[in-house]
Amino acid sequence: MILPLKNIRLSLVDTGDETFRVSDPAGASLLAESIRAVGLLNPVVLQENGKGGYRIVSGFRRIAALRSLGWDEIPSRVATAEADFDGLAFLAVSENAASRPLSIMEESRAVALLGPGRPWEERTKLAEKALRLAANPRHLERLESLSRLPAFIREAISSEAVAFAMALTLGRLPEDDARVLAELFSILKLSLSKQRELLDISTDISKRDEVALREVLAGPAIAAILEESGGDRGLAARRVREHLKRRRFPHLSAAEENFSRNAAELRLPQGAAWEPPPFFEGEQHTLSIRVKSRAELAARKDLVASLLENPALSRILP
Amino acid sequence: MERLYIDAAAIDFPAVSVIRSRLAGVPVEILDGPSAVFRCVEAASDPIAAGKRVLYLAVNRGRFLRPCPGTRNYHCCGYQILHVGAFCTMDCAYCILQAYFHPAVLTFFVNHEDLFTELSQTLAERPANVRRLGTGEFTDSLIWEPLSDLNARLVSLFGAQDHAALELKSKSTAVDRLLGLPHNRKTILAFSVNTGAAIRENERRTAPLEARLAAAEKSAAHGFPLAFHFDPMILYPGCEAEYEEVARAIFRRVPQDSVAWVSLGTFRFMPDLKPIVARRFPASKIPYGEFIPGADGKMRYYKPLRTALFTRVAAAIREAAPSVTVYFCMEDDAVWREALGFSPDEKGGLARILDEAASRVCGISI
């Protein structure tokens, strides 16, 4: 598609029209610094909007940067209002993909622009060409669906608070529940596996107790944990998970806490450990002693006898 | 039944014509192998429900007799499975078969002469590990009653020997066609039981408890030995008293000397089952109990919770029927000792305990 080069007044560009937007909104200030230093190297692409103005096809961040720099006009390749949508969309995606690695939300918006309404096999070929990536239709379909998620989920993806898979999961939840989870994930910055664990355990509690997921996660107990953790994300994450686990598995958690108390009373020397059967299901306990020398082993020779005298042991091994 | 699929290899077996005549009006499709049935079932929005609405008649090319897949770490009853078919027309939330077969399709094997040849040979050899056999592991034993005469033939075959007992296990009440058969007390009619609440929440298209007990009473009146399986027991607030009442209700209806055994087993499941239950039984709370991974890889209730339930229900059974053998399905020594006061190993093992119960109630020689 060959488009004529023109100088267009920035005031005529409708930046609210995001029809062809691929790029994330952030990043304009860095770009402004670059343009201030070396000028604008590539013209933007605009399309006449039929109302005397222009919509942006490619160059959202450049135009934001130029506005911040106070430019009045911008060199632009200009398409007519009748120009082919698919051709302009392909151009917008290709230019963005060629200029930098796209974020996941940018990829999602890019896929949404490529051949909407056509079969996914066809759209996949377009995406492979425009985005220069190997893809499969199912993945692209999921990727595109991100662009239709509520704004707070898209923001959580952009800020890397939630990953692709979790975003899709949040998108299937009632919006109020998803919002609470997205906020919590944004605060705690958990890995995907920890997010899944937290979601699974909260969902189980919600279904068991017949309360909404948001009530499980937005209760006073979790609010207090976040408050008391004083911005220490690691501590807050651990305490939130412990709180939920105690709620989900009250008897097992009580047994674990009881065991920990009794094990502490055993006053095992450094290098020795007592492990109960996993989940207290089997009957076999494990006493382990780590030594580096015969002398260390000799120093432990009375350990078993002293344990047998310890009243805490009879609570661990009745 | 929406459709009857018949494997081309099965078409000439006599059981097929019997089933076709009893399913008159149901569309029939002849297939070369199960792939087309699987595709059709998998394409449904609920493949598990779809697999219950069709019947696939096939030839079993493997063995009909298989040992029950017990695992180490837990005491297994040493039961032999007689593999007559797969899956079920009833629809229980906790049913492990939903996750066991891929996909789950109601299947009935029709090469009965092969079955009887294998069974007769095995029974003639009188192996010590084949004293209790049953068809209720991969399917419900009595759902086939309206369609097939297989159970009648099995009852008669077992009635003509004296060293093994057949257990037909069901949540239905379809015993009428069996009552007049020459069972010689070698067929145990076994009923899975549960509390009214657990049945309502988790067992679709099964008979109510009262109807099962009435069927058991009728069976006992015709001299059949009985068994009852409290399995899976579901933990919920107040369940202990309700299970105790089920135990008492059983022995108000049937004499204890007609009961070969009562088993107790709490809900346990492969982890794959949980999302299936959540999707297909959204009102069921059974996946959200306090489960931990067991030594066999299945999820099971935290041990003190199940031990406490077992202790109460076992005590209620012993009070109502002191002579009846009570056992636990897949539990370890600690549970046995705490809930029943002994380990099976002290009495020669669980299989031996049940063989002796079968000897006492069914008259098999061991």
The structural domains of chain B, ordered by start, are 63-83+111-362 (3.80.30.30)
| B293:A250 CB<8 A | no
Query: Which residue in B285, B303, B333 is closest to A280 by CB distance?
Result: B303
| B278:A207 CB<8 A | yes
Mean pLDDT of A220-234: 92
Query: Which residue in A207, A249, A282 is closest to B73 by CB distance?
Result: A282
Strands B259-266 and B325-328: parallel
Residues in chain A closer than 8 A to B287 (CB atoms):
204, 207
Based on C-alpha coordinates, what's the Rg of chain A? 29
Å from B316 to nearest chain A CA? 25
Is the pLDDT assigned to residue B32 strictly greater than 80? yes
Query: Which residue in B290, B294, B333 is closest to A251 by CB distance?
Result: B290
Residues in chain A closer than 8 A to B295 (CB atoms):
281-282
B256: nearest Cα among B181, B199, B179, B321: B321
Spatial separation of the C-alpha atoms in residues B298 and B268, rounded to whole Å: 6
| B303:A250 CB<8 A | no
Å from A278 to nearest chain B CA? 9
| CB proximity A208 to B under 8 Å | yes
| B302:A251 CB<8 A | yes
Provide the pLDDT for residue A27: 67
Spatial separation of the C-alpha atoms in residues A150 and B49, rounded to whole Å: 34
Burial zone of B323 (CB within 10 Å; 0-12 exposed, 13-18 middle, 19+ buried): exposed
Q: By the 8 A CB rule, do B225 and B190 touch?
A: no
| CB proximity A302 to B under 8 Å | no
Is the pLDDT assigned to residue A296 strictly greater than 70? yes
| CB proximity A250 to B under 8 Å | yes
| Residue in chain B lying closest to A249 (CA) | B290
| CB proximity A118 to B under 8 Å | no
Query: Which residue in A249, A282, A283 is closest to B290 by CB distance?
Result: A249
| CB proximity A283 to B under 8 Å | yes
| B292:A251 CB<8 A | no
- The number of C-alpha atoms within 13 Å of A200 and in the hemisphere containing its C-beta is 11
Spatial separation of the C-alpha atoms in residues B258 and B307, rounded to whole Å: 27
| Residue in chain B lying closest to A252 (CA) | B302
Residues in chain A closer than 8 A to B293 (CB atoms):
278-279, 281
- Chain A contact probe: residue of B72, B303, B336 with most A CBs at under 10 A: B303
230-249 in chain A: CB under 8 A from chain B:
248-249
Is the pLDDT assigned to residue B20 strictly greater than 80? yes
Q: Positive or negative, the Cα torsion across A284, A287, A292, A296?
A: negative
Residues in chain B closer than 8 A to A251 (CB atoms):
290, 302, 304-305
- Chain B contact probe: residue of A253, A256, A259, A281 with most B CBs at under 10 A: A281
Provide the pLDDT for residue B42: 94
Spatial separation of the C-alpha atoms in residues A45 and A67, rounded to whole Å: 16
Residues in chain B closer than 8 A to A169 (CB atoms):
none
Mean pLDDT of B72-78: 90
Query: Which residue in B300, B304, B332 is closest to A251 by CB distance?
Result: B304
| CB proximity A207 to B under 8 Å | yes
| B292:A283 CB<8 A | no
Residue partners of B215: CB distance under 8 A and separation at least 6: B172, B173, B174, B175, B189, B191, B207
Coil/strand/helix, residue A10? helix
Architecture (CATH level 2) of domain A5-148: Alpha-Beta Complex (3.90)
Instruction: Encode pLDDT of A21-52 as tens digits.
Output: 999 877 677 888 889 899 998 999 999 999 99
| B290:A281 CB<8 A | no
Query: Which residue in A204, A251, A281 is closest to B288 by CB distance?
Result: A204
Instruction: Encode pLDDT of A159-218 as tens digits.
Output: 999 999 999 999 999 999 999 999 999 999 999 999 999 999 999 999 999 999 999 998
What is the percent of chain B with per-residue pLDDT over 70, rounded to a whole number?
100
Å from B181 to nearest chain A CA? 45
| A283:B333 CB<8 A | yes
Angle between helices A151-158 and A175-188 (to 10 degrees): 20
ipTM of the complex: 0.91
Chain B residues with CB under 8 Å of a chain A CB are 73, 278, 285, 287-290, 292-295, 300, 302-305, 332-334
Residues in chain B closer than 8 A to A279 (CB atoms):
292-293, 302
Instruction: Encode pLDDT of B175-215 as tens digits.
Output: 999 999 999 999 999 999 999 999 999 999 999 999 999 99
Give B316-324 contacts, CB < 8 A, sequence gap 24+.
B316/B243, B316/B244, B316/B247, B316/B248, B317/B247, B317/B251, B317/B262, B320/B247, B320/B248, B320/B250, B320/B251, B320/B256, B321/B250, B321/B251, B321/B256, B321/B259, B321/B262, B322/B256, B323/B256, B323/B257, B324/B256, B324/B259, B324/B261, B324/B262
pLDDT category at A99 given cuts 50, 70, 90 is confident
Instruction: Encode pLDDT of B36-71 as tens digits.
Output: 999 999 999 999 999 999 999 999 999 999 998 877
Amino acid at the residue B190: A
| Residue in chain B lying closest to A201 (CA) | B288
pLDDT category at A247 given cuts 50, 70, 90 is very high
Domain-wise residue ranges, chain A: 5-148, 152-248, 263-316
Å from B300 to nearest chain A CA? 9
| A208:B300 CB<8 A | no
